Chains A and B, each alone.
Chain A
Amino acid sequence: MRATTLLGAAIAIAVAVIASPARAQPAEVAGQIKLIETQPPDMDRATWKDRRRDAARKLGQSKDKRAVGVLIRLAETETFDIIGEIAIEGLGNLGDPAAVPILQKIIADPARDKAQKDLARKALAKIGTDARPATGTGATGTGATGTGATGTGATGTGATGTGATGATGTKATGTTGAKATGTGGAASTEGGTSALGAGSLLGERPASDVPGPGALPAVADDALAAYERVTFAGGTANVGYDTARKRVDFDADVAGQYQKRVEREAFAWGWNAAAHIVAGYVNPDGPALTRGLQLDASADGEARLYSGQVYGIGRAAAQAQVNYISDVDPNNAGNTLKDTRSTADLQVAIGGGYGRVLDVGAAIRVRRLARTLEAARALGKRIDPTVARRLQLTWWALRGERSTYRALVATVAILREAGILLGEPDAGLSYEILNVLRDSQLYLRPSGVDLWLAVGEGYLKRPDQPTPIESGRVEQLLAQAAYGAQLDDDKLEISGGAYARLRLLAPANTPSPSAAGASARFRRFAYGEHGDPLGAIDVSASLQVSNDDLMNTQIGQRLTGQLGFTWWLNPASGVRLAASLGEDRGAVFFGAELTATYGLLDGTFAR
């Protein structure tokens, strides 16, 4: 009987021990505290930081009063590392009222972010006291117990939102206060004045650092992809005059383009508009004078109606170009050439196709962000589609910013609010996030398969001289294919494309020219340990064939290949190798360029 009782007691103790959470033993507590406070000489800093977090977690579960002091210090001072949040949580588990002042201070601190404040509120609720700091009337003794705090402190709670219920100061409990904060935060976000953005690492930030929903671009909920691109190139305008030659020259090449495209499940559309001006004026000494102007304006649009992967396509394009040239012969001013030419196109095409190719550069940026956080052990949970969408639209909204500052602040704030980013990012992680945001290798990254075939009809206005190959009504068969895949953690890209064009229904004695081609490209991107783009290898090949369908014409075949390799050894040194090989009906063209730069990195000091 006695043996049975003892056995039962032993089993009960064993079950209790197994079922209880792992806690630091008394002897271990001192060791954990020592580990937190002092880096062992034989341990590198990264390992120590990991071990400190583990130690803080164990202390928070230890129920040992000796842990309170060290956890209070961590909660108060460690605002850059997740160990601070572990300590706040641990103080709640320990339940010691000595932690109440620091927890209330964290809640009232505008420099602290929402996640830390929420943890502090939960900790206070566990301790059983009020979230409001012990300021104001009679607060000193009673505030800690949550019975006499005035409404002053509720203002601190309201700092995370706008309509905090606790702002009335009528004995709001910790739970009520927390709820009011959440509501206030949500309300403020909906109002477009997001309260995100407060944080210690990047300083006190205005709410406007995170664009509210009203400032984000309007993209339909079912959109698979969308882009809007504005390109303006006006960098080649030159003007000069010198008295030695008495010569005036001016030239300009200015171009602008706007592109917009939206891909939805059942519908896709896009349009482009572009203008290009080339102007020149060369007036050397003497009668010679050359003046010229070329204006080109074009617009095209495309719409697709999808049924699954199959779609019907409609395209339209218009273009107008005017050329003016005036050239005065220096030896005979009467022999002046003046010529003005103009062309105009108006065309439509309809057809069908399969699939689609999307530019997934922004999605890759999100994936790189997740991998960066995971490597830094700061990824609390995966980035879901809702957060990914918000991040991408925020970057889109901030694309006009000269600095990446707001994009960084907004990204961190969004990730923190969503519970994805654990803790405030330290300097190292902030740098890595910045590298992701600035990664220029994510421009135009195709993914998917797309094939279409269409019949086009249009009117081309051409000058009579020289005799145009195509003019007036022109019907044609058009086909295109595209492929893109992003592999190996998005560091490898394989893409390709093909086209074919044949003029149909050409009048008698009028040629029916045709052309077809295919190309493939392979790109391998390399990054450094902290996400710095190091370079890329680029290999491509293309094959083209054409037939002008003229008397004595030749069928053209051209095969070209290119190899490009760029490697940045350090910020001042790099290697660039580029080679190209082309063959056009027996004529071979080869070019290669090797550029190696080695920079002596300066070290300087000034007092």
Chain B
Amino acid sequence: MTGRLAIAAVCVGWAVACGAGDDTTEGTRAECAQGGALTDCPDAQRTSQGACWRLVDCGAISVVSDNTNRFTWAHCVDDIDRLTADRQRLVIDCIAASTCDELRVEGSPRAPDPNQMHCLRFGGP
């Protein structure tokens, strides 16, 4: 495993360990969160907020958490907004085109590791 992934794994482990009992709002799943191709969702808005809501809809991230280390909706929006325009487009387009099963990672939705989210990897290092 690469060094970066190792760090990510430690972070995820820490987050899960420290996550129990903290004040986190997971958010509500959309129709397409589970169920495969028989259930469908409308296209996500091609904005940073729209893309991050899709992650909440899919159960990939939480809405808010009192643990500031968590990758929540607010972190998601801030991270995408900080990207250069080309990377921003790629991340947003990728999230909008992904199925919910592709967006969830280990620890979702309470303590997801953003480095494992393939669409966020378009955002670069």
A residues whose Cβ falls under 8 Å from a Cβ of B: 236, 238, 240, 249, 251, 253, 255, 276, 278, 280, 282, 288, 290, 292, 294, 296, 298, 300, 315, 317-319, 321, 323, 325, 327, 329-332, 334-337, 339, 341, 343, 345-347, 349, 456, 458, 460, 462, 465-470, 474, 476, 478, 499, 501, 503, 513, 515, 517, 544-546, 548, 552-554, 556-558, 584-587
Contacts and interface: CB of A to CB of B under 8 A. Distances in A.
A292 B98 contact: no
Contacts of A466: 104-108, 116
Nearest to A582: B53
A327 B89 contact: no
B40 to A, nearest CB: 8
Contacts of A476: 35, 38
B33 interface: yes
Which of B3, B20, B28: most chain A Cβ within 10 A? B28
A347 B36 contact: yes
Interface in B75-114: 86-87, 89-90, 93-94, 96-99, 101-102, 104-108
A456 B34 CA distance: 13
A458 B98 contact: no
Contact of A558 (B20, B27, B118, B124): B27
13 contacts: A236-B93, A282-B122, A318-B37, A327-B124, A458-B36, A460-B36, A468-B104, A476-B35, A478-B35, A501-B39, A503-B34, A515-B34, A584-B56
Contacts of A294: 94, 97-98
B63 interface: yes
B110 to A, nearest CB: 8
A341 B117 CA distance: 11
Contact of A347 (B30, B38, B106): B38
Given A292-B122, A466-B116, 17 more contacts: A276-B97, A280-B90, A292-B121, A317-B36, A317-B38, A319-B36, A335-B3, A341-B102, A466-B105, A470-B36, A501-B31, A501-B35, A548-B26, A548-B29, A584-B28, A584-B63, A585-B63
Contact of A327 (B3, B20, B104, B121): B121
B5 interface: yes
A282 B27 contact: no
A331 B102 CA distance: 28
A60 B39 CA distance: 68
B2 interface: yes
A587 B63 contact: yes
A349 B36 CA distance: 12
Contacts of A585: 25-28, 63
B25 A586 contact: yes
A480 to B, nearest CB: 9
Interface in B1-17: 2-5
B102 A323 contact: yes
Nearest to B90: A280
